[in-house]
Amino acid sequence: MKFFKGFAEEFKRNRALFAMAAPAFILVLVMQYFPMTGLVLAFKNYRYDMGVFGSPWNGLANFRYLFASGTGWLITRNTILYNLLNLITSQLLAVLIAIFITEINNMIFKKVTQSIILLPYFISWVVVGVFVYNLFNFETGMMNGVLKAMGMDPVNMYGIPGAWPVIICLFNAWKWTGYNSVIYIAAITGVDGEIYEAASIDGATIFQRILYITLPSIRPTLVTMILLQVGRILRGDFEMFYQIVGNNGQLFNATDVIDTYVFRSLITNPDIGMTAAATFYQSVLCFVIIMVVNAVVKRIDEDYALF
């Protein structure tokens, strides 16, 4: 009762503000919150004619099916390993590039290189898919062109699943290093210049300056970036995987993440129940992980918590 009274008062006082927020509120409610109720599909035998809520319940059968076939474990493992690999490589590279770029004194060199390194962020994954085709397709790929020119036999990359974690990791770093380094550069340039000056006067070498001034200055940013990524550890970057791997069935064991698996099952042989089980498991576990990690971080150092 009290809430409604307070709400009515606030509504009367700030009616215009309510109206201003209403469109986005309704949009997010309809486009984001309503589909959340569809997560119940994980426990149902979905039938189109009966809709989301009319379909009969079937308990945990969908989950059993997903994990009994081994697919559930495989795609979970792949998703986590790829995310860890991409997290480590792309953040390390971004930190390295950010430190180097801020140390460069030649302004033109600095500007040009920074611009070019950020450029991949602006390119759609479809075009990245074209790059992969240009480099690795068996008949006309550049790699095989070079191999043939050197008198060696062409290699069918699509027959070597083990190569793809490396390829995916490289393209991920290619796409995101510029973007991430912008964030780190902002953190580094936020440091008071006088600290660096004092350090050079005291005779600190360039390595000492980086070790004792630059690296500590980006630690909070680094922690935030890692936390954000950990919160997404069960979410595969669908666009990246789908465009780089495509429909090469031979590679699925090595490259399938939850999102690509769900998409393929949704489009090719719609087993709604099992895919819904996979996304339910993904959404809920992701939520639990981010809440737990955030709570732990908050206990250690409140400043580093996300919320």
Of 201-220, binders to another protein (CB under 8 A) are 201, 205-207
- The residue among 64, 86, 124, 92 whose CA lies nearest residue 236 is 86
**Nearer residue to another protein within complex by CB, 102 or 164:** 102
SS3 154: coil
Greatest Cα pair distance, the chain, in angstroms, is 83
User: Least distance to another protein from the beta carbon of 167, Å?
Assistant: 13
- What is the distance between the alpha carbons of residues 145 and 88, in angstroms, rounded to a whole number? 32
Only one of the segments 74-82, 83-91, 134-142, 249-257 lies at the binding site for another protein (rule: CB under 8 A); that segment is 134-142
Residues 65-84 touching another protein, rule: CB under 8 A, are none
Query: How far is CA 262 from each of CA 11, 215, 256, rounded to the nearest angstrom?
Result: 43, 40, 10
Residues 223-282 touching another protein, rule: CB under 8 A, are 224-225, 231, 238-239, 243, 246-247, 259, 262-263, 266, 272, 275-276, 278-280, 282
The answer to the question of residue 58 lying near another protein (CB under 8 A) is no
**Nearer residue to another protein within complex by CB, 164 or 259:** 259
Query: How far is CA 146 from each of CA 54, 182, 247, rounded to the nearest angstrom?
Result: 59, 35, 25
Residues 144-203 touching another protein, rule: CB under 8 A, are 144-146, 148-149, 174, 177-179, 182-183, 186-187, 193, 197, 200-201
- What is the distance between the alpha carbons of residues 133 and 66, in angstroms, rounded to a whole number? 32
The answer to the question of residue 129 lying near another protein (CB under 8 A) is yes
- Written as one string, the DSSP assignment of 28-47 is HIIIIIHHHHGGGGGGB--B
- The residue among 237, 92, 102 whose CA lies nearest residue 173 is 92
Q: Which of 84, 130, 152, 211 binds another protein (CB under 8 A)?
A: 130
Q: Which of 35, 54, 159, 249 binds another protein (CB under 8 A)?
A: 35
